[in-house]
Amino acid sequence: MNKPKEVLKDFTKNSSFCAAPWLHYYRSPIGEVAACCISDPLSPQLKLKTFEEIINSEEYKKLRLQMMNGVLPKECHLCEKSNNNIIYKDNVNEFLEGMKPKILENTLDDGTINLDPVFLDFRFLDCNITCNTCNPDYSSSWLKKINKVESSEAYNLKLQENLQDTSFFEDEYSRVINNFQWQRIYFAGGEPLMKKNHLKILEELKEKPFHADLKIFYNTNLSIGKTLLKNWLELLAHFKEVHLNVSIDSFGKFNDLIREGSSFEKICSNLDFIVFHKPSNLNLKIDLTITSLFFYNIFEFSEWILKNKYSLNARAMNEFGYLGAFLRPEVLKISFRKKVFLQWSEWYCTLGLEDQDRLKNLFEVMTMFHAEPEFNEDMKKEVQKHIQETLKYELIDLNHFIKFNMKQDLCVDINGIVNV
């Protein structure tokens, strides 16, 4: 029998505690259920379950029980060791700090809860571009691209699965968005603005009694037309705060090479439009994923950020993408990374305080690449596997990746063998 609630000690003080499994609802673009976007997915059997069926499932209760007993679940390993100096758990807990008494009040000692979620992570597969850092689990354009080539039976099955489940979780999102009082909604993808009914969702949200307190977050590639952009900005004015993170991974042609299908010129034009027309509740940020190609125009990118006075959030590419092994910064020789970092940091030190502050986050992440690479045996095998897939499917012209003098700067050969 469960102990009375008041006997439970204050587990929210545990360092392993994270409010996400209590108050957050996340599904990946292919419907996988996880405690948050960086946590490992839970059982595939949860994929076709509703929120109400998931939240007190044995798997969710187990996650919560571990946190209540001072153990960080294995699914949450990225919150233990972050290679970007950002612990996502700290952000979640900071945002949900005020909800702790409610969490304690409504949790039983077996991990069961009686709480409504307040933070929704809303994702779909629809996307108009095929970033080389991405994969078919996050982009419908990638799905189309990969479908054109011969792939393994196992992979074909996975593609079919991805496509099949879409209608279920589209309905599920429409239902939950109307059933709970959200404090925060994060729209990502895929590309959220490629979802045909996205503006309709905002129209409906702005009629909800909680809309004036709602904080909306986006991650967008901003590769959209002006009419959609204008209509979207008008709707965003109705909410308490809007945080717009625009994914741009380098400057000019390098960005378009990494983010295949996007146009740096078009994005800049859209950014100018936003700066000119933005509602007062909107915060704009450039969201940079640092790849190997970024090292070739870090100066142009930095100057562009300073010239436009953009806020910048930088992080390192820490996945392989589907075919993007050549984009991991670690594939560059340490001597090359050090050379670029030293040149750039010398320039950085000549900047005024305001400019330094604007690029501070980039500086912090770049210092990591100044250190020795972490190529353990497992990672070497991963790199080799991904590069060989790249070659097998012939989806990427590898010359793209080596035409900027990159070949001589790599510590990985064309067969994916790591030589460090």
Q: Of 20, 143, 244, 248, which lies in the binding site for ligand SF4, with binding defined by CB under 6 A?
A: 20
Closer residue to ligand SF4, CB minimum distance, 66 or 245: 66
Verify binding: residue 79, ligand SF4, rule CB under 6 A.
yes
CB 286 to ligand SF4: min, Å:
23
Nearer to ligand SF4, 54 or 159 (CB): 54
CB closer to ligand SF4 out of 24 and 386 = 24
- In 3D space, the residue among 308, 257, 261, 262 whose CA is nearest the CA of residue 285 turns out to be 308
Strands (E), 10-90: 24-27, 33-34
Which is nearer to ligand SF4, 15 or 227 (by Cβ)?
15
Q: CA-CA distance, 96 to 84, in Å (whole number)?
A: 22
Exposed, middle or buried by CB within 10 Å (0-12, 13-18, 19+), for 107? buried
**Near ligand SF4 by CB under 6 A: residue from 11, 18, 146, 302:** 18
Of residues 32 through 61, those in contact with ligand SF4 by CB under 6 A are 35-36, 38-39
Tokens standing for 198? 């996205």
Rounded to whole angstroms, the Cα distance separating 347 from 297 reads 14
Pick from 42, 12, 10: which is nearest to 26 by CA? 42
**Which residue of 55, 92, 188, 194 would you call a contact of ligand SF4, by CB under 6 A?**
92
H-helix segments, 108-236: 140-147, 153-164, 166-179, 198-206, 226-236
User: Chain centroid to CA 386: how far?
Assistant: 21
CB nearer ligand SF4, residue 78 or residue 316: 78
- Supply the minimum distance, in Å, between the C-beta of residue 153 and ligand SF4: 32
Distances (CA, A) of 18 to 92, 99, 129: 7, 12, 34
**Options 22, 88, 124, 295; binder of ligand SF4; rule CB under 6 A:** 88
Tell me the longest C-alpha to C-alpha distance in the chain: 67
- Shortest distance, CB of residue 31 to ligand SF4, whole angstroms? 18
Beta strands in 248-310 (DSSP E): 259-260, 282-290
H/E stretch holding 123 reads: strand 119-123
Complex with ligand SF4: residue 80 or 374, whichever CB lies closer: 80
In the complex with ligand SF4, which residue's Cβ is closer, 96 or 236?
96
Residues numbered 221-250 forming contacts with ligand SF4, rule: CB under 6 A: none
Binding of ligand SF4 by 76 (CB under 6 A): yes
Contact positions with ligand SF4 (CB under 6 A) in 262-281: none
What is the closest distance, in whole angstroms, from the C-beta atom of residue 71 to ligand SF4 in the complex?
A: 11
Place of tokens 């005020």: 98
Applying CB under 6 A, which residues contact ligand SF4?
18, 20-21, 35-36, 38-39, 76, 78-79, 88-89, 92
